[in-house]
Amino acid sequence: MRLPQIPRRLGTKGLVAAGLALVAAVVVVLVAVNPFGGGGGGETRLVTIAVATDNAQQAPVGTLGFPLVATRNTTRISGPDPIADAAAAALATHPPAPAAKPLQAAILVPDDDWQAGIAASVLAGPPTRIPVLISGHGSAPDPTAQALAQLNPRGGGASGDFAVYSTGGAAVPSGFHSGELHGDSPAEIANSIDLLRQRLTKSEPEHIVVVSSDVPGYAMPAAAWAARSGDPVLFSGRSQVPSATLAALRRHAAAAVYVLGPDSVISKAALTQIGRVSATVQRVGATGVVQNALFFARYTDGSFGWNINDPGHGMELANSDRPLDAAAAASLASSGQWGPLLLTDTAKALPPELRSFLLDIKPGFATDPTRAVYNHLWLMGDATAIGGRVQAEVDELAELAAVGNTGGQGASAGGAAQPGGAESEPSPTPQKGKK
């Protein structure tokens, strides 16, 4: 068993979040399915999403949706459910640039199967870049159908003739040649997805992540890492490892296995079972879904782990009550500003542990803000998932802050001086962040 390397938390301090960003009770957000025109006669089609927000009276913002949709350092995918979030994220990460390669395939997971969504996230990153979309059992919901029409996966290449893969009976819109990934349990579906990953990439994984099939909040952070690394996600029960998971582990016997979550969700007995078929097994995690996600974000062990212990990163934030948002965010974690999935367990307040983490990696500059590193967070879901007040605080914690004497730049560049001459917390030390 290898010993992990847990970096010491940086001692940086930053600014206390100030001010409120209250928004209208219902904002109509337009998620462009064809944002650049083209297609049938150049018409632009839109998916309209009604977004519930914190307060109707104090700061109405109209149909543009600011500051709920975007602030200085946050961008919200403001769907009322993970179906809409996955459709919007797929479009955001696969824009129809003139020189872009045609999308070969997409994968559909059922709207009642968060396990399939997390397992399928391994396909969302390079080299396959297969977006994860969410469908029903009888028919595909409009956001999914419209996103697929715009993405227009064509099949071919490593994917063969299949333009769409489906798991667990997820309905595929007509007009797409599709293939079904079989499995009657989370472990079996994850095994089928890993076999597909192996066929498409023709490569062996360096690591495997085993997560709980029963407690979604502890499994969610694995989706972003799978997309970023290509490491497959497999499932275990509390004390029993399913035969399909053991079969996949035997297939990749040389891969190091990391079990995500505390003993309360995957026991020592389960680790012992895994150790019988795998070269190395290491537990990664902490008690509490928020704390577990943060531990994983900070963790590093050789080439495994995000190692987010300094500023200069992208991140995603989701509510642990919406586990399929982890699959929706997978493409965001492995493109643009790559980074881990963080979690909140409430829409109304920023958990103190998450606030401390964001404060600890808050970016700063000494002389030139244009040469600094920056943090950016994607927020998954409307204000019923992550409230407007939480977004305002996250934005302030991610804002670049002036450090030391900047000749009066502080208030405009990072807000080092607080309104009314209030004493501020120590500013962060400028550092070079890892991209």
Give me the torsion for CA of 379, 351, 333, 140, rounded to 10°: -50
pLDDT at position 160: 65
pTM: 0.80
Contact 266, 210 (CB under 8 A): yes
Q: Where are the alpha helices (DSSP H) in 77-183?
A: 82-93, 114-120, 142-151
Low-confidence ranges of the chain (pLDDT < 70): 1-68, 157-160, 405-435
pLDDT at position 67: 61
Q: What are phi and psi of 408, to 5 degrees?
A: 90, 0
CA distances to 164, 205, 233, 372 from 253, rounded to whole Å, are: 30, 10, 15, 43
pLDDT at position 284: 97
Length of the chain: 435
**Which residues lie across from 376 on neighbouring strands?**
314
Domain ranges of the chain: 26-202+307-421
Question: Under 8 Å CB-to-CB from 318, ≥6 apart: which residues?
Answer: 220, 325, 326, 329, 341, 342, 343, 344, 380, 381, 385, 386
Question: From the CA atom positions of the chain, what is the Rg in Å?
Answer: 22
Q: Of 217, 278, 221, 269, which Cα lies nearest the Cα of 245?
A: 278
The encoded tokens of residue 259 equal: 């079990």
pLDDT tens across 263-284, in order? 999 999 999 999 999 989 999 9
**Which residues lie across from 204 on neighbouring strands?**
none
DSSP of 334-391:
TSSS--PEEEES-SSS--HHHHHHHHHT--EESS-GGGS---EEEEES-TTTS-HHHH
From the CB of residue 367, how many other CB atoms can be counted at a distance below 10 Å? 14
Question: Under 8 Å CB-to-CB from 387, ≥6 apart: which residues?
Answer: 53, 54, 347, 348, 349
Contact 134, 328 (CB under 8 A): yes
Separate counts of helices (H) and strands (E) for the chain = 14, 16
pLDDT at position 427: 40
